[in-house]
């Protein structure tokens, strides 16, 4: 089997929230971000789950801001006491928090939209609307990330995109960011992945060939994924990743080594 790989630029996910770590909610951002990146010839390099504790978020973000990675952070940007991501980002960067004027305008628009539906008031001097404005208080220097679902924006700073934890909001914001900020990374490098199944061979027997392959074709990575398989038929998913020509040469070598060492490329007869 053959599939297109993604660009090597590092993209990471940080999911924030006690509810994920406790199991009250299941994370859905991980698989969705992989899907969105794959559509654009990119790939996810790492993911991390963090509690709502501000000190934990600060520690993770300080380390993350020190990299050049493109990072998507989901969760904790609301205005209730358990939402600490905005504050933690400012602390990690050593900057003040401030109400972003465009965010304030969009939040006021949202309040007005609700008022027209008979839900609340457009009067931004009311306590509940003042509280809603806290969702537009971002680290100084941040830019807004549009939220087509309800207009209340996320924010972008130092190559990090901060979004709500709700998929209905976060996923369109991910797409917008990938297309508006990172279009130049789409299909940045042409790389391929090839793999095939091997039967009747222990992984230990093919390991020396995998090591030799990476020495002969620098930049090509070999992988081996053992499995019990459907119906209990053990096999190994062997493959290579890399630049197309080198990867194809390495694949040919690997197939030949499997046959030479007594492996089978088809399932054994039942």
From residue 237, how far is each of 53, 126, 225, 245 by CA, in Å?
Answer: 41, 61, 5, 21
- Per-residue pLDDT, 270: 61
Average of per-residue pLDDT across 215-234? 88
- Per-residue pLDDT, 219: 87
Are 75 and 165 in contact by the 8 Å Cβ rule? The answer is yes
Token pair for residue 93?
């960067």
pLDDT above 70 coverage of the chain, percent: 96
What Rg value do the Cα atoms of the chain yield, rounded?
24
Are 226 and 236 in contact by the 8 Å Cβ rule? The answer is yes
Residue length, the chain? 270
- Per-residue pLDDT, 4: 40
For residue 2, pLDDT over 60 is answered with: no
Q: Is 139 helix (H, G, I), strand (E, B) or coil?
A: strand
Average of per-residue pLDDT across 65-76? 96
Domain positions in the chain are 7-185, 192-260
pLDDT band at 79 (very low <50, low <70, confident <90, very high): very high
Class at the top of the CATH hierarchy for domain 192-260? alpha beta
For residue 175, pLDDT over 90 is answered with: yes
Are 135 and 129 in contact by the 8 Å Cβ rule? The answer is no
* Identical topology for domains 7-185 and 192-260: no
Class at the top of the CATH hierarchy for domain 7-185? alpha beta
Give the C-alpha separation, 66 to 84, whole Å.
20
Give the C-alpha separation, 163 to 174, whole Å.
8
pLDDT band at 144 (very low <50, low <70, confident <90, very high): very high
- Per-residue pLDDT, 205: 96
For residue 3, pLDDT over 50 is answered with: no
Residue 29 or residue 25, greater confidence: 29
Q: Is 30 helix (H, G, I), strand (E, B) or coil?
A: helix
């Amino acid at each position: 089997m053959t599939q297109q790989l993604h660009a090597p630029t590092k993209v990471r996910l940080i999911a924030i929230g006690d509810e994920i770590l406790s199991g009250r909610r299941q994370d859905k951002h991980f698989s969705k971000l992989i899907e969105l990146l794959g559509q654009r010839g990119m790939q996810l390099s790492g993911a991390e789950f963090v509690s709502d504790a501000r000190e934990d978020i600060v520690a993770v973000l300080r380390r993350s801001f020190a990299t050049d990675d493109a990072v998507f952070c989901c969760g904790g940007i609301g205005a209730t006491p358990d939402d600490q991501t905005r504050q933690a980002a400012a602390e990690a960067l050593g900057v003040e928090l401030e109400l972003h004027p465009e965010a304030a305008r969009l939040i006021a628009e949202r309040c007005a939209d609700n008022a027209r539906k008979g839900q609340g008031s457009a009067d931004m001097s009311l306590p509940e609307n003042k509280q809603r404005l806290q969702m537009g208080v971002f680290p100084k220097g941040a830019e807004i990330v549009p939220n087509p679902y309800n207009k209340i924006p996320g924010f972008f700073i130092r190559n990090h995109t901060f979004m709500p934890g709700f998929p209905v909001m976060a996923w369109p914001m991910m797409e917008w960011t990938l297309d508006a900020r990172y279009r130049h990374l789409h299909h940045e490098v042409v790389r391929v992945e090839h793999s095939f199944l091997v039967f009747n061979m222990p992984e230990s027997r093919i390991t020396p060939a995998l090591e030799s392959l990476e020495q002969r074709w620098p930049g090509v990575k070999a992988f081996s994924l053992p499995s019990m398989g459907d119906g209990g038929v053990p096999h190994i998913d062997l493959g290579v990743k890399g630049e197309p020509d080198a990867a194809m040469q390495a694949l040919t070598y690997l197939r030949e080594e499997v046959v030479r060492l007594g492996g089978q490329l088809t399932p054994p007869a039942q």
